Amino acid sequence: MQSTKENIRIGFYVCHCGHNIAAMVDCADVAKYVKGLPNVVLSRDYKYMCSDPGQELIQKDIREYKLNRVVVASCSPLLHEHTFRSATAAGGLNPYYFHMVNIREHDSWVHTDRGEATVKAKALAHAAIDRVAFHKALETKTVKINPDALVVGGGIAGIHAAMTLANAGKKVYLVEREPSIGGHMAKFDKTFPTLDCAACILTPKMSEVGAHPNITLWSYSEVAQVDGYVGNYKVRVKRKPRYISEERCIGCMDCISACVFKEPKFEDEFNEGLGKRKPVYIPFPQATPQIVVIDPNVCLNFKRTKGPDGTPIVSDRCKKTCVEACGDKNAIDFTQKEEIKEIEVGTIIVATGFKTFDSKRVPAYGYGIYKNVYTALEIERLVNASGPTGGEVILREGKNPDGSPKHPKSIGIIHCVGSRDKKTNVWCSRVCCMYSMKLAHLLKEHTGAEVYNFYIDIRAPGKGYEEFYNKLLDEGVHFIRGRVGEVTDWAMTPEEEGKLVIRVEDTLAGYVRRIPVDMVVLSSGLEPQADAQDVRRLFNMSCGTEGFFLERHPKLAPVNTFTDGIFIAGACQGPRDIPDTVAQAGAAAAEALVLIDKGFVEQEPNTAFILDEECSGCKSCIPLCPYSAILYDETRKKAHINEALCKGCGTCVAACPSGSIVQNLFEDEQIFSEIQGVLAYD
Amino acid sequence: MTKEWRPRIVAFFCNWCTYTAADLAGVSRMKYASNVRVIRLMCSGRVDPQFVLDALTRGADGVLIGGCHPGDCHYAEGNYKMLRRFQLLKRLLRDMGIEEERVRLEWISAAEGDKVKAVINEMTDQLLKVGPLGLPQRFEEWDKEVTRLEEEIRGGDAAGAGCACAAKLQKPAAASKSEVAHV
C-alpha cells in the first residue's frame, strides 16, 4: 500500500499547549518516537504551536528542510485545522498536505495515566504520519453568496438582526409565526434594571422594520422547508391565511368594532388569557404589521350549519358586518388559502426565542389550582397600562365587601420555578432574579403591598443589576432565602384565613415559616420552544442536552452553527436577557455580513469524484446520494458526480462495489493507512 | 500479552455529531479508558465495511462506529445507510465467529459527551471479558497449519510427484493474510 514515486518529507510538530497536553503526554517522547518513523525528516515539540512563533516555525522548516508534508499533534482539528493549513500554505505548500492529530480533547484531557496517554498520542501520531504520505494537493472551490438574508423569528433578536442587515443595505426577509412581530418583549411592561418602558424602546424599532424598504416582513408565516447550502439556500415559507388582504388592509380596525360580537369574548393570547378579544382582532395596539387577523376557530363565517338539502352552509348568524364596515377597501377575504412562497437567500439567522416553563408542572405551587397564583408573564400584562386591566392590579379571585375588585395587600414572588431543579430543569434561567425584582418594584409601586421574594441565590451579574437589588432592599421589599415547599390555602391561624400561605424554610433564619399573602407570582424559567427539535432539523442544526440550539463553539463561534451560513441569536441558544440578546443579534448579523460582503466562500474540497475507467455503470451509488449529485451518462454507461452539488459525506464511496469513487481528503488508502497506523503502536 | 492485555478499539466517528461529542467530553474533562483510537470521517455513511474488517485483521479487538441520531444526519441520511450496512456486516461477522460485542454502532449527538465516555468505558469492559481477538496471530497459526498440511502432503506423496501440488498450495497460504485484509 505504500506509495509512491514522490520523495515524501514530513515535518512533525507536537504541541504542549502549555500544560494542557504536556501535563498528561510526554511530548518530547512522542517527538522522539515519530522521528524514527518512515519519511519523517524532522520532529519537534513546542510549547504553543498555534502561536505566531509556532506557525512561523512551520513556515521556516518547510523552506529550510524542503518539507512536503506537515503533521501537527495538538488540539481538535475543529478548532485549529484552519490555522495550521494557513501556516502550511504560507510556507509555500498546498494546505491539504497538512494533517492534524487531536491529542488534547481526545487524549490528554480525557485520560488520567500519563503512560497510557503518551502511548495513545504515539499511536495517533503514527496514523497521521502514515496517512499524510497519501495526501494530495487540492484546490478549494469557491461558492458565490447570495446577498439576500433570511431572519427567522421577529422577537427583539430577529428585529435587531434584520434591522442591522437592512441598514447595511442588504435585502432581508423576516419571518414571524405570530400575527405581529415583537415577541416576548412586546408583552413586558418595563425592562430591568433601568425600568424604561419596553414598548417605548421596542415599538419604534418594530415600526422601522415594518417600513424599511429593505425588509420584507412576513408575519403569521412559518419556514416550511430549507434546501441548499451556504450562500445558496432555497427556502419555502408557509404563509398562513389571516383572511385579510395585507395589501388592502389599512389598519383602521373598523371591522373590529363592527363585528357581530359586540363584546370581546375569546381568550386573548397576547394578554396570556387575562383579557378577551373578538374573532377579528389585532394582537395589541402597536402590532406590526398593523393588519387585523380573523380567527377561523371562532369566527361565525367559518361555522357551518346544514342547509335545507343537507349541504354545509355558512351560518346565518354571521351578518358579515365586518365586510360591510371595510367597505370599498375590500380587505376581508374569507376564501384566503395557505400560500407557499419560495425565496433564495445566502444566509439565515435563526432567532426563534424561548417559551416559559409551564408552572403547572410544579403542582405544589398551586398554579391552575388557586386562582390567585399567577405566572410572571401574566403579571407583566397585569401591570401594563395597555394590559387587560389598564395597569390596575386586580386579583382574579375575591371581591371587596362592597363588591369592587380586590387589590392584593401582600404578594409573594417565588423564584426559580422550573429552574435549578433536578426534577424539572437544572439550568439557571438567568433572567428570573432580575425580572422578579423588577416585578416586585412594579407591584409595590402599583399596589403599595408588602412584597416578599423567595430566592435560592440572587443572581444579578450585569451592568447596574446589583445596584438594582440594593435599590429594592432600600425600598423595603422583603427577601427570604429558601426554596418554597408549597403554596396552600389551608389556614392554621385566623390571619391566614382566605389567604394563600407560602411554606418555606428560611435558610438564613434557620426555621420553617408560613407567610400568608393575597397573590403569589411564580417566576417561571426559560425553556426551548416546544418545536425546537423540528426547527433544528429544518435548519440542520444541533441542540444541546437541554434542547437549546448549539453554537459551533461556546467562546469562539457563539453565533455560528455547524451549518455554514446559518447563525443563531437570542434565547433560542440559551436563556439570556435583552441586552445580551441584542448584542448577540448584532453579532449574528455581522457574521452574515462577513459572508455577504466577501461575496464568496471557500469550501472544503472533500467532494467525491468517479474514476471513469473503473466505473462499471452499476448505478448503485445513484440512489444513495441525498443531494442528487450523481448522474448517469446513458451514452457512456458511466456515473458522474456533479461536484457543485456534492457535499462530501462519502456515502457513495463506501458503497461503490468496484471502488471507483474517491473522496478527496478521505481516500480509501488514506483511511486504511490511518487504521494501520493507530494499530502499529501497541 | 496475557497479564497487561488491554483491548484495542478503533473508532470511526462522524465529524458533525460523534467527533464533536468526543471533543465536548474532552473540554468537559470527562475521563474514560485510553484504549480507543478515533479516526475522523465526515459521515458514518463513509464507513466502508472493509474499514471494520481491516481494523480487526490488523489487530483491533473491537470497532466502534459513531454517527448522528436517526433524523439528525448532517447529510440527511448517511447514518441510515450505515445502519443497513451494519446489519449485513453483523451477520457476516457472526458467521465468521466474531463475537457481537466487538463491533458496535452508536448514535451520539454533538451534545452527548457523557455518552462517548459511557460507551467507550462499557465497550472496554465488555471486551475485557470477551478477551483478545488476535486475528493477526490466528492468521499466523493458519499459515503454519497450511504449511504443515503442505509438508504432510509432500511427505505422504512419492518424492518429486508432489512438487507441482505444493507449489499450488504455496500461493493461497501466502496470500491469505493480505487477501482477508482487503476483502
User: Mind giving me the DSSP string for B61-101?
Assistant: SEEEEEEPPTT--TTSSHHHHHHHHHHHHHHHHHHTT--GG
Chain B's closest residue to A122, CA to CA, is: B37
**Mean pLDDT for chain A overall:** 94
Q: What's A356-527's CATH class?
A: alpha beta
Confidence (pLDDT) at A310: 79
Q: Determine whether the interchain pair A671/B39 forms a contact, defined as Cβ–Cβ distance below 8 Å.
A: yes
Alpha-carbon Rg of chain B, whole angstroms?
Answer: 20
DSSP string, A260-279: S-SS--EE-TTTTTSSEE-S
Q: Does A120 touch chain B (CB under 8 A)?
A: yes
- Beta carbons within 8 Å of A74's beta carbon, 6+ residues apart: A13, A14, A15, A17, A21, A49, A50, A80, A100, A101, A102, A103, A104
Q: Does A119 touch chain B (CB under 8 A)?
A: yes
Query: Residue A306: pLDDT band by 50, 70, 90 thresholds?
Result: confident
Please state the length of chain B. 183
Residues 57-116 of A with CB under 8 A from B: 76-79, 102, 104-107, 109-113, 116
- Asked whether A345 and A149 are in contact (CB, 8 A), the reply is yes
What is the rounded distance in angstroms from the CA atom of residue A242 to the CA atom of residue A47?
63
Using the predicted structure, report yes or no on whether residue A45 has a pLDDT greater than 80. yes
Interface residue of B4, B5, B46 to substitute, partner A, most A CBs within 10 Å? B46
Q: Which residues of A touch B109 (CB under 8 A)?
A: 542-543
Angle, helices A77-90 vs B18-27, to 10°: value is 100
Q: Which cell is B18 given?
A: 460523534
Among A452, A418, A420, A421, residue whose Cα is nearest residue A437: A452
Backbone angles phi, psi at B39, to 5 degrees: -115, 125
- A149 sits in which H/E element: strand A149-152
Confidence (pLDDT) at A682: 64
Query: Residue B157: pLDDT band by 50, 70, 90 thresholds?
Result: low
What is the rounded distance in angstroms from the CA atom of residue B65 to the CA atom of residue B104?
6
Question: Letter for the amino acid at B83?
Answer: L
Interface residue of A24, A80, A110 to substitute, partner B, most B CBs within 10 Å? A110
Query: Residue A47: pLDDT band by 50, 70, 90 thresholds?
Result: very high
Q: Per residue in A347-384, pLDDT tens?
A: 999 999 999 999 999 999 999 999 999 999 999 999 99
Q: Does A540 touch chain B (CB under 8 A)?
A: yes
Inter-chain Cβ pairs, chain A and chain B, closer than 8 A: 144
Give the count of beta carbons closer than 10 Å to the beta carbon of residue A448.
11
Does domain A1-139 fall under CATH 3.40.50? My reply is: yes
Q: Per residue in A454-480, pLDDT tens?
A: 999 999 999 999 999 999 999 999 999
ipTM, 2 dp: 0.84
Write A15-19 long-range contacts (CB < 8 A, 24+).
Answer: A15/A45, A15/A46, A15/A47, A15/A48, A15/A49, A15/A50, A15/A54, A15/A72, A15/A73, A15/A74, A15/A75, A16/A45, A16/A46, A16/A47, A16/A48, A17/A48, A17/A49, A17/A74, A17/A75, A17/A104, A17/A108, A18/A47, A18/A48
CA A464-A551-A76 angle, 5° bins: 120
Among A304, A302, A301, A307, residue whose Cα is nearest residue A320: A301
Confidence (pLDDT) at B156: 67
DSSP SS3 for A343: strand
- A459 sits in which H/E element: none
Q: Per residue in A269-287, pLDDT tens?
A: 999 999 999 999 999 999 9
> How large is the average pLDDT for residues A522-550?
94
Q: Which residue in A76, A105, A111 is closest to B34 by CB distance?
A: A111
DSSP 8-class letter at A528? E
Using the predicted structure, report yes or no on whether residue A515 has a pLDDT greater than 70. yes
Using the predicted structure, report yes or no on whether residue A591 has a pLDDT greater than 60. yes
- A242 sits in which H/E element: none
> How large is the average pLDDT for residues B127-136?
93
Inter-CA distances, A674 with A271, A679, B17, B40, Å: 61, 9, 21, 10
Using the predicted structure, report yes or no on whether residue B176 has a pLDDT greater than 90. no
Among A432, A397, A610, A651, residue whose Cα is nearest residue A524: A432
Query: Residue A603: pLDDT band by 50, 70, 90 thresholds?
Result: confident
Using the predicted structure, report yes or no on whether residue A4 has a pLDDT greater than 80. no
Using the predicted structure, report yes or no on whether residue B2 has a pLDDT greater than 50. no
Q: Is the peptide bond before A554 cis (omega within 30 degrees of 0)?
A: no
Q: Which cell is B63 given?
A: 470497532
Confidence (pLDDT) at B171: 45
Among A290, A287, A288, A276, residue whose Cα is nearest residue A331: A290
What is the rounded distance in angstroms from the CA atom of residue A125 to the CA atom of residue A33?
9
Chain A's closest residue to B114, CA to CA, is: A545
Q: What is the 3-state secondary structure (H, E, C) of A293-309?
A: EECCCCCHHHCEEECCC
CATH 3.50.50.60 domain extents, chain A:
356-527
Interface residue of B75, B121, B133 to substitute, partner A, most A CBs within 10 Å? B75
Q: Report the range of poorest mean pLDDT among A318-332, A412-426, B121-135.
A: A318-332
Q: Determine whether the interchain pair B30/A110 forms a contact, defined as Cβ–Cβ distance below 8 Å.
A: yes
Using the predicted structure, report yes or no on whether residue B153 has a pLDDT greater than 60. yes
Of residues A655 and B180, more confidently modeled:
A655
- A454 sits in which H/E element: strand A450-455
CATH 3.40.50 domain extents, chain A:
1-139
Query: Residue A316: pLDDT band by 50, 70, 90 thresholds?
Result: confident
Q: Which residue in B25, B51, B81 is closest to A671 by CB distance?
A: B51
Q: Considering the entire predicted model, what is its pTM?
A: 0.86
Q: Per residue in A249-266, pLDDT tens?
A: 999 999 999 999 999 999
Chain A's closest residue to B79, CA to CA, is: A651
What is the rounded distance in angstroms from the CA atom of residue A521 to the CA atom of residue B149?
87
Exposed (0-12), middle (13-18) or buried (19+): which is B2, by Cβ within 10 Å?
A: exposed
Q: Per residue in A394-406, pLDDT tens?
A: 999 989 999 999 9
Inter-CA distances, B17 with A25, A596, A671, B51, B79, Å: 26, 28, 19, 20, 11
Using the predicted structure, report yes or no on whether residue B166 has a pLDDT greater than 60. no
Confidence (pLDDT) at B154: 87
DSSP SS3 for A500: strand
Q: Determine whether the interchain pair A668/B22 forms a contact, defined as Cβ–Cβ distance below 8 Å.
A: no
Q: Which cell is A19 given?
A: 500544560
Q: Does A626 touch chain B (CB under 8 A)?
A: yes
- Asked whether A521 and A439 are in contact (CB, 8 A), the reply is yes
> How large is the average pLDDT for residues A416-438?
96
Q: What is the 3-state secondary structure (H, E, C) of B126-153?
A: HHHHHCCCCHHHHHHHHHHHHHHHHHHH
Rounded-to-10 torsion of CA B53, B58, B60, B64: -40
Confidence (pLDDT) at B1: 44
Q: Determine whether the interchain pair A679/B51 forms a contact, defined as Cβ–Cβ distance below 8 Å.
A: no
Q: Which residues of A touch B38 (CB under 8 A)?
A: 102, 106
